[in-house]
Amino acid sequence: MAVEVSVAEKLRKLWNLQQVDSQLDEIQILKGELPMEVADLEDEIAGLDTRIKKLRATVKEAELEISKTQAVAKEADANIKRYQKQLEEVKNNREYEALQKEIELAKLDIQLGEKRAREAKGQLDMKKDSLTISEAKQEAKQKDLDAKKVELQGIIEKTEQEENRLRSLSEQARNGIEERLLNAYDRTRRTYRNGLSVVSVERNSCGGCFNNVPPQVKLEIGMHKKIIACEHCGRVLVDQSIVHPEDVVEA
């Protein structure tokens, strides 16, 4: 048969859990935005890497296109020289006109090749400029990432042992709390940036939102008959007998 846990004990367990989790939060604050910044930089560098690979591929394609057009122009130029030599040996007007036609076509091939080469060269220059910019940006981002990783690793090395200890304590503290309360506790922690879900009443005010706690509500909190949340922020409220049980004098 399960032993009924008193409200005071439930509140004490929730308060103790909050204290451990708040210490874990302080370690995360020490790390600051570094973990997120590292992840963002890694994503950005991966994106730049993909872009650089595509740009390098298009540069190769443009260089190949230029090489092909130059080869066509060279072949056409050789044909023109060959046709001009053949003109010296023609025997009739029909052969002469046919060779002249071939020469004209070869000249058109050269002009078309030169035009394509200029266009390909223009594209090549733009792609090379984009590639240079992307590579420089990637290099700068990589240096920034390396520096942030070193900084983050330094913090992790200093806090890892303490963080592991606190995580273990947090798991232990959770074991004695019913699921319904844990779900409410976690939900409230996610709601507020400071992660406070259980707070004490200080000078007749909520320790989370600092709104006034009415005398009647404060009296009910001290009776430990039920778990009471702040009517303004929804955080669980506890009195000083929960916060400092060692100061409570037994009657």
**Which CATH number does the domain housing residue 214 bear?**
1.10.287.1490
Q: Which of 203, 192, 193 is nearest to 235 (CA)?
A: 192
Q: Are residues 131 and 218 part of one domain?
A: no
Contacts of residue 73, defined as CB under 8 A and 6 or more positions apart, other chains included, come to 109, 110, 113, 114, 117
CB atoms within 10 A of CB 156: 15
pLDDT of residue 70: 82
Say if CB 238 and CB 11 are below 8 A apart: yes
Distance CA 30, CA 41 (A): 20
Q: Are residues 109 and 51 in the same domain?
A: yes
Q: Can you give the pLDDT at residue 38?
A: 92
| Same domain? 72 vs 183 | no
Identify residue 80 by its one-letter amino acid code.
Answer: I
Q: How many domains does the chain have?
A: 2
HEC secondary structure over 184-230: HHHHHHHHCCCCCCEEEEECCEECCCCCECCHHHHHHHHHCCCCCEC
Q: Can you give the pLDDT at residue 114?
A: 79
Q: What is this structure's pTM?
A: 0.57
Residue 102 sits in the same domain as residue 185: no
How many residues in total does the chain contain? Answer: 251
Q: Give pLDDT, residue 165.
A: 93
CA angle (155 as vertex; 146, 163 as ends), nearest 5: 135
Rounded CA separation 59/52 (Å): 10
How far is residue 209's CA from residue 155's CA, in Å, rounded to a whole number? Answer: 31
Return the number of other C-beta atoms located less than 10 Å from residue 53's C-beta.
Answer: 10
Enclosing domain of residue 150: 32-174
Q: What is residue 2's predicted lDDT score, i.e. its pLDDT?
A: 46
Alpha carbon distances (Å) from 97 to 76, 83, 103, 109, 127: 18, 11, 10, 18, 44
* Distance of alpha carbon 62 from alpha carbon 71, whole angstroms: 14
Cα separation of 99 and 119, whole Å? 30
- Give the pLDDT confidence score for residue 248 in this predicted structure: 47
Cα 37 from chain centre: 7
The per-residue pLDDT for 116 is: 80
Among the candidates 154, 174, 194, a domain finishes at 174
User: What is the block-wise mean pLDDT of the chain (251 residues), using blocks of 10 residues?
Assistant: 74 95 90 88 94 92 84 81 80 80 81 80 87 94 94 87 92 92 95 94 94 94 94 95 68 33
Q: Measure CA of the first residue to CA of the last residue in the chain; give whole Å.
A: 31
Which amino acid does the sequence have at 7? V
Q: Do 150 and 213 share a domain, yes or no?
A: no
Q: What is the DSSP letter of 2?
A: P
